[in-house]
Structure 1
Amino acid sequence: MKIEPKYLKTVSLAKMLNLSPRYIRQLVADGRLPYVRVGVRTILFDLEQVRSWIDEHRIGAA
């Protein structure tokens, strides 16, 4: 049984979504992707919130 992490870092999220880390950071800078800032430099993404965000932005039939 594989345990999924609750939070992902930028690079892990980028790999999961098949996007570049740079594009993920741009989405964060634009305020388009939900995230949690931990300290000054660390950004984490709640996997549940990211999945909801994806569902909200889905185009066409699923």
Structure 2
Amino acid sequence: MNNTTPNQFPPVAMKTGQAARYLGLSRRHLHTLTAQGRLPFVRIGPRCHLFKRSDLDQFLDRFTVKARGAA
């Protein structure tokens, strides 16, 4: 019998590679956005950054373009 249960909740925070995949960007572009101050992150250590899913979703919302009606 397997006593492990699958994680039923999506992660609240993601590592750099996960966040890049979530946004559909390269890790390099994600780093550029953080260096420019356009995308917030949580610094866990000198080489460990986490990205809150809510911040990633807000980032996407800022660039959402509304569809135009048919002419």
- Global fold match (TM > 0.5): yes
More helix by share: 1
Q: Does 1:23 align with 2:29?
A: yes
Deviations 1:23-49 (A, max 9, x none): 101100111111111121111100012
Q: CA RMSD in A?
A: 1.5
The correspondence of residues 1-62 of structure 1 with structure 2, limited to 5 A, is: 2-61=8-67
Query: Aligned pairs, how many?
Result: 61
Unaligned 5+ runs, structure 1: none
SS at match of 2:21: helix
Distance in 2 (CA, whole Å) between partners of 1:59 and 1:34 is 22
Deviates more, 1:51-60 or 1:13-22: 51-60
User: SS of the residue aligned with 1:37?
Assistant: strand
Of all paired residues, the percent bearing the same amino acid is: 36
TM-score, length-scaled by structure 1: 0.83
